[in-house]
Amino acid sequence: MEGFELLALRGMSETLRRVSVAVVEVTPDWLVQQGGSAGELISYMEIHGFKALVPEVRWSLGMFSPKLIFTEPGPVDIQTDICFVREPQAFLAGFR
């Protein structure tokens, strides 16, 4: 069922202590239907030591040069994939 991501993460506090990266597809409307919000989900993960980063493919030098970049999320008002990472600098170094 969709929209239960926040509830599922709340039930995974022990698991979250052991992982360094978690990827969540965030759909704001569905989270609201289950009594949560995208902001709550991001705050919850930040409290547990994660930083939110949004992956995006950027094309340079034509269509054959994709580059994966990560930006901090703004207001999440559409379905968005979010990578939650414990050590952003180390994580991002793998994409340079």
Q: How many Cβ atoms from other residues are within 10 Å of residue 64's Cβ?
A: 7
* Helices marked H in 4-96: 5-10, 13-18, 28-33, 38-47, 88-93
Q: How far apart are CA 53 and CA 56, in angstroms?
A: 10
pLDDT band at 1 (very low <50, low <70, confident <90, very high): low
Which residue, chain included where needed, has tokens 């929209």?
3
Q: 5-40, pLDDT tens digit by residue?
A: 999 999 998 999 999 999 999 999 999 999 999 999
* pTM assigned to the model: 0.85
Q: 62-75, pLDDT tens digit by residue?
A: 666 778 889 899 89
Tell me, what's the pLDDT at 36?
93
52 close to 45: Cβ distance less than 8 angstroms: yes
Q: 45-57, pLDDT tens digit by residue?
A: 999 999 999 998 8
52 close to 46: Cβ distance less than 8 angstroms: yes
